[in-house]
């Protein structure tokens, strides 16, 4: 094929199954966009901001498992994309980030928007180096394809993640004559590394002989979502299953052996069982982060064996000492252990009913409240009842994340996606659009706070312009709920920069060309969702919630005091904080 290097690059992306490139074009990336237009079927999607482009690419990659691609021009375009790329890096999402660069003859001469690192210019490559698996500047037309193939291999091999290529404008226009190599020629098409048979046997024996085992699944085991091998494994061993927040819904939360999400903001059932003298814990693709592990609670250490399986060796034993650390693909390892145990009789049935009843598993009192304004717990229950089982739900950050984790039941047919590594507010507001493009047959819903929506809500226009039927449900309380709650509890009610004025989100949606609805009563949620699911375009639903409702406090929440930077308890006591603490301690757990 003889064409510009930009067109050759575009053909490689088409071969990789890329359907969309999300971005905001600038002069320095126009050759790349022209290559997309002339040489491929890839559809460029014009977003309203480069951060939105990165988040849309994130959402697309998260739901498809394929490469997401975003593009930004040199300088401010690249710096705008940083947060979305960093989120993908934290959450192990494979992205290719293409940025422009000034022509090579202009390097170091204060060219318009130059970002080479010369003088006072931003060093664009260095900027992305610590938030990607690879960040390089293309310097020669003859190295474009080789560099691109390396980037595609790095992004999609081992632990996935974003890669960045800075592409000078003049090199994009250079012509080359070369063959497009098939993907199998330059990267592995399957990451499924499996441990040695002896290791598989050791894992299987430890689990089968355990009296009180548990399985903790993280996003690194995402390929197991909906896999019959997972259900067979769990039911043969009668092993209770918890997930990290990011893996919520990977195992059906209505299964008799499901405990829900482990963590400070997770389900009481998971928090109780996994921290109550289990003997063997199998951790698959979970990093045992602060939020998941209850601030590294030593009660999570099992009495007999901690087995940790992860594709990334840096995660093994990072936060807890392991009995057996295995560097391998989590999904492939579980299948291999399941095959090893397949000839053994199933373990006796384990009944978790009493535990679930005592912890009000997805049925806490507030989930049934008829009060107005709506309790957020009741809103979560109504959303679950109204949405089909295969609905893909993107949850945003702040208190919204907590309400979803604990009160919204999730299933592998749809999955929940919570960009929780970097925990960027507004990330899901944009990412859900890319998700709908990746899974057009599935309903896609974003559940977000009003503060989240104010950050990236302009991307609703992107959904309108491309006719992408996404539903946003905004939890409206006119404040940054999590920050406001912390100020109530720890700063004696000194509320500073955590509240904002009344915003009519339904009217904004209508002004954008989307449908807009306002809900105030719990009985109105179901009909509104039913209508939104039938709409042929985007819908924004503003749901007014009880602004004073606070998430139940766990006994380990105070362990985060140092990392969050809270004042001493003795310095925090006030009438307001005492009232808030009393309310939160009503549902205190282990």
What Rg value do the Cα atoms of the chain yield, rounded? 25
Residue 305 has pLDDT above 80, yes or no: yes
Q: DSSP assignment, residue 117?
A: S
| Contact assessment for residue 176 and residue 11, using Cβ atoms and an 8 Å cutoff | no
Q: DSSP assignment, residue 253?
A: T
Q: What is the predicted pLDDT for the residue at 398?
A: 92
**Whole-number Å distance between alpha carbons of 480 and 449:** 8
Lowest mean pLDDT among 225-229, 372-376, 580-584: 580-584
Q: What is the predicted pLDDT for the residue at 581?
A: 63
Residue 590 has pLDDT above 60, yes or no: no
| Contact assessment for residue 516 and residue 474, using Cβ atoms and an 8 Å cutoff | no
Q: What is the predicted pLDDT for the residue at 46?
A: 98
CA dihedral 505, 507, 513, 516 (to 10 degrees): 70
Q: How far is CA 277 from CA 68, 295, 320, 588, in A?
A: 42, 18, 16, 20
Arithmetic mean of pLDDT, 114-125: 95
**Whole-number Å distance between alpha carbons of 319 and 332:** 24
Residue 579 has pLDDT above 90, yes or no: no
CA dihedral 92, 96, 100, 104 (to 10 degrees): 100
Q: What is the predicted pLDDT for the residue at 150?
A: 98
Establish whether the linkage from the previous residue to 123 is cis, with ω within 30° of 0: no
Q: What angle is formed at CA 271 by the lines to CA 341 and CA 556, rounded to 5 degrees?
A: 140
Residue 557 has pLDDT above 70, yes or no: no
Work out the number of other CB atoms within 10 angstroms of the CB of residue 385. Answer: 11
Arithmetic mean of pLDDT, 98-121: 94
Arithmetic mean of pLDDT, 174-197: 93
* b/e per residue 307-327 (b: at least 16 CB within 10 A): bbbbbeeebeeeebebbbbbb
Write down the CATH number for the domain with range 197-358: 3.40.50.1220
Work out the number of other CB atoms within 10 angstroms of the CB of residue 104. Answer: 15
Which residue is associated with the tokens 């009481």? 268
Residue 263 tokens, joined: 């963590």
Q: What is the predicted pLDDT for the residue at 567?
A: 73
Q: What is the predicted pLDDT for the residue at 560?
A: 59
Q: Quick one: CA dihedral 484, 486, 490, 496, positive or negative?
A: negative
Taking only the tens place, the pLDDT of each residue in 64-78 is 999 999 999 999 999
Arithmetic mean of pLDDT, 162-187: 96
| Contact assessment for residue 289 and residue 315, using Cβ atoms and an 8 Å cutoff | no
| Contact assessment for residue 215 and residue 284, using Cβ atoms and an 8 Å cutoff | yes
| Contact assessment for residue 277 and residue 309, using Cβ atoms and an 8 Å cutoff | no
Arithmetic mean of pLDDT, 485-498: 86
Q: Which residues contact 428 (CB under 8 A, 6 or more apart)?
A: 55, 59, 394, 395, 396, 397, 417, 418, 419, 446, 447, 448, 452
Q: Which of 192, 145, 187, 205 is nearest to 9 (CA)?
A: 145
Residue 316 has pLDDT above 70, yes or no: yes
| Confidence bin at 420 (pLDDT 50/70/90) | confident
**Whole-number Å distance between alpha carbons of 100 and 119:** 19
Domain 365-585 is of which CATH architecture? 3-Layer(aba) Sandwich (3.40)
Residue 570 has pLDDT above 80, yes or no: no
* b/e per residue 243-262 (b: at least 16 CB within 10 A): bbbbbbbbbbbebebbbbbb
Domain 2-185 is of which CATH architecture? 3-Layer(aba) Sandwich (3.40)
Q: What is the predicted pLDDT for the residue at 492?
A: 81
Work out the number of other CB atoms within 10 angstroms of the CB of residue 63. Answer: 24
Lowest mean pLDDT among 252-266, 271-285, 481-495, 533-547: 481-495
435 φ, ψ (degrees, to nearest 5): -65, -40
**Whole-number Å distance between alpha carbons of 376 and 436:** 25
Q: What percent of the chain has pLDDT over 70?
A: 94
Residue 555 has pLDDT above 60, yes or no: no
Q: DSSP assignment, residue 49?
A: S
Q: Quick one: CA dihedral 83, 86, 92, 96, positive or negative?
A: positive
Are 197-358 and 365-585 equal in CATH topology?
A: yes
Taking only the tens place, the pLDDT of each residue in 202-220 is 999 999 999 999 999 999 9
Taking only the tens place, the pLDDT of each residue in 28-50 is 999 999 999 999 999 999 999 99
| Confidence bin at 493 (pLDDT 50/70/90) | confident
Q: Which residues contact 18 (CB under 8 A, 6 or more apart)?
A: 42, 66, 67, 69
Q: Which of 14, 81, 97, 2 is nearest to 48 (CA)?
A: 81
Arithmetic mean of pLDDT, 232-245: 97
HSE toward the beta carbon, residue 508, CA cutoff 13 A: 17
Work out the number of other CB atoms within 10 angstroms of the CB of residue 353. Answer: 9
End-to-end CA distance of the chain: 64
| Confidence bin at 554 (pLDDT 50/70/90) | low
| Confidence bin at 191 (pLDDT 50/70/90) | confident
Q: What is the predicted pLDDT for the residue at 559?
A: 59
Residue 254 has pLDDT above 60, yes or no: yes
Q: Which residues contact 478 (CB under 8 A, 6 or more apart)?
A: 450, 499, 500, 501, 502, 503, 547
HSE toward the beta carbon, residue 392, CA cutoff 13 A: 24
| Confidence bin at 571 (pLDDT 50/70/90) | low
Domain ranges of the chain: 2-185, 197-358, 365-585
Residue 175 tokens, joined: 């012509």
Pairing of strands 280-284, 324-327: unpaired
Arithmetic mean of pLDDT, 497-518: 97
Lowest mean pLDDT among 54-68, 92-106, 370-384, 484-498: 484-498
């Amino acid at each position: 094929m003889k064409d510009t290097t930009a067109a050759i690059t575009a053909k490689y992306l088409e071969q990789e199954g890329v359907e969309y490139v999300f971005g905001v074009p600038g002069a320095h990336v126009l050759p790349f966009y022209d290559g997309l237009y002339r040489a491929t079927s890839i559809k460029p999607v014009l977003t309203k901001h480069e951060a939105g482009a990165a988040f849309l690419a994130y959402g697309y990659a998260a739901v498809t498992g394929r490469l997401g691609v975003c593009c930004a021009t040199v300088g401010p375009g690249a710096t705008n994309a940083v947060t979305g790329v960093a989120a993908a890096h934290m959450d192990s999402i494979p992205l290719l980030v293409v940025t422009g660069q000034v022509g090579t003859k202009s390097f170091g001469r204060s060219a318009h928007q130059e970002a080479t690192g010369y003088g006072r210019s931003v060093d664009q490559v260095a900027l992305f180096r610590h938030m990607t698996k690879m960040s390089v500047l293309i310097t020669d037309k003859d190295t474009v394809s080789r560099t691109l193939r390396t980037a595609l291999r790095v992004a999609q091999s081992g632990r996935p993640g974003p890669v960045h290529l800075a592409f000078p404008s003049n090199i994009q226009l250079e012509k080359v004559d070369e063959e497009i190599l098939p993907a199998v020629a330059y990267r592995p098409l399957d990451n499924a590394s499996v441990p040695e048979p002896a290791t598989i046997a050791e894992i299987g024996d430890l689990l089968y002989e355990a009296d009180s085992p548990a399985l903790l699944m993280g996003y690194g085991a995402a390929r197991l979502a909906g896999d019959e091998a997972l259900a067979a494994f769990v039911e043969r061993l009668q092993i209770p299953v918890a997930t990290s927040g990011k893996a919520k819904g990977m195992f059906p939360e209505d299964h008799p052996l499901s405990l829900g999400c482990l963590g400070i903001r997770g389900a009481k059932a998971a928090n109780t069982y996994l921290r109550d003298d289990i003997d063997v814990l199998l951790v698959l693709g979970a990093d045992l982060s602060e939020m998941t592990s209850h601030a590294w609670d030593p009660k999570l250490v099992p009495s007999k064996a901690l087995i940790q399986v992860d594709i990334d060796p840096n995660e093994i034993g990072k936060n807890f000492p392991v009995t057996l650390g295995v560097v391998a693909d989590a999904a492939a390892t579980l299948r291999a252990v399941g095959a090893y145990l397949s000839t053994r009789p199933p373990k006796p049935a384990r009944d978790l009913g009493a535990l679930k009843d005592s912890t009000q598993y997805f049925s806490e009192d507030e989930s049934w409240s008829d009060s107005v304004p709506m309790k957020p717990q009741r809103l979560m229950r109504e959303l679950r009842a109204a949405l089909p089982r295969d609905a893909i739900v993107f949850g945003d950050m702040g208190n919204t994340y907590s309400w979803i984790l604990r009160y919204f039941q999730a299933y592998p047919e749809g999955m929940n996606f919570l960009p929780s590594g970097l925990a960027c507010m507004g990330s899901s507001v944009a990412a859900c659009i890319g998700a709908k493009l990746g899974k057009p047959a599935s309903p896609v819903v974003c559940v977000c706070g009003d503060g989240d929506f104010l950050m990236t809500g302009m991307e609703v226009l992107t959904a309108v312009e491309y006719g992408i039927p996404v539903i946003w449900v905004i939890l409206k309380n006119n404040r940054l709920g999590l920050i406001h709650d912390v100020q109530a509890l720890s700063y004696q009610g000194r509320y500073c920069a955590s509240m904002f004025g009344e915003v009519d989100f339904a009217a904004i949606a209508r002004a954008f060309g989307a449908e807009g609805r306002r809900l105030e009563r719990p009985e109105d949620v179901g009909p509104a969702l039913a209508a939104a699911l039938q709409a042929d375009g985007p819908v924004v639903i503003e749901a007014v919630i009880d602004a004073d409702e606070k998430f139940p406090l766990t006994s380990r929440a105070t362990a985060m005091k140092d990392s969050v930077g809270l004042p001493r308890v003795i310095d925090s006591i006030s009438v307001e904080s005492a009232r808030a603490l009393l309310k939160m301690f009503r549902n205190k757990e282990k």
